[in-house]
Amino acid sequence: MELIETIAAFGKTLDAERLAGRRVGLVPTMGYLHEGHAALVRQAAAECDVVAVTIFVNPLQFAAGEDLSSYPRDLDGDRRTAEAAGAEYLFVPEVTEMYPGEVHTTVSVAGESDGLEGASRPSHFAGVATVVAKLFNIAGPSRAYFGEKDWQQLQVVRRMVDDLSFPIEVVGCPIVRDGDGVALSSRNVYLSTTERAAAPVLRRALMAGRDALSNGRSPADAAALMAELISAEPLAQLDYAEVVGDRLLVAARFGTTRLIDNMGADR
Ligand code: PAF
């Protein structure tokens, strides 16, 4: 696997791959790769001819006071994980490479960015959409892979791709969970032992909400039940519990760590 640090080199390398007739699969990440990321890379490797993983902790998607400066990093571990999962290229630009000056052009996706995460993190999805658009333009992938854990992000990216006619297929991949049901996230590393022990409440709440829906309860009832279960966990501070279409979504803080999770109503 080749490590690339500049936009010019990354673009040129993938131009050559496309010229040789190879379909590029892109897996955008912020690093500190876990089994959920590895699953994205494996799926990309199975469906594309060449896979590029990007690692960039994107300042544009963090608000003041969020965890930009403490976001976990482990480039050596990430290299091993990406390579073992089947990546050919790892793009790891510095912030000054991606944003050499002030950013005057951003992409904002109205509607899909509203509510849920967008309510708690108002500038977050414009930051995500802007960096993903940039990565799409630099890499020119045929397909791009995103985890369903960030369900709303996936909807934002899909909408951006449709609205701006990016010739890219966006592939959403299922959430990967630890044995106790906690969705894998790079941020789980922030949790204390007791917070980590409390975190499975999110999935329990989602499952209870899903069961309530399948027993004929209303989305509002299912959402209230999820909120009640999460609020009953002393270490969890509920942010939201909602049913949107056929998706149940929750977010809560465990100490200073904010976790999100979601589940389809039919699974
Ligand atoms: O999901 C993430 O890791 C990030 O939001 C992404 C899509 C890589 C954009 O920075």
Instruction: Report which protein residue has its CA nearest ligand 1's atom 8.
Output: 29
Alpha helix positions (H), 117-174: 117-120, 124-139, 151-163
- In this prediction, residues 224-241 reach a mean pLDDT of 98
pTM higher than 0.95: yes
- In this prediction, residues 207-213 reach a mean pLDDT of 98
Mutation test residue for ligand 1: of 26, 27, 29, the one with most atoms within 8 Å of CB: 29
Domain ranges of the chain: 2-173, 186-261
* 37 assigned to active site: yes
- Mean of the per-residue pLDDT values of the chain: 98
9 CA distance to ligand 1 centroid (A)? 21
- What is the reported pLDDT for 253? 98
Summarize pLDDT for 12-34 with one digit per residue, the tens. Answer: 999 999 999 999 999 999 999 99
Vertex 160, ends 73 and 12: CA angle to 5°? 60
Q: Which CATH superfamily is domain 2-173 in?
A: HUPs (3.40.50.620)
- What is the reported pLDDT for 267? 61
- In this prediction, residues 145-172 reach a mean pLDDT of 98
Instruction: Report which protein residue has its CA nearest ligand 1's atom 3.
Output: 29
179 CA distance to ligand 1 centroid (A)? 24
**Class (C level, CATH) for 186-261:** alpha beta
Contact status, residue 5 vs residue 92, Cβ threshold 8 Å:
yes
203 CA distance to ligand 1 centroid (A)? 22
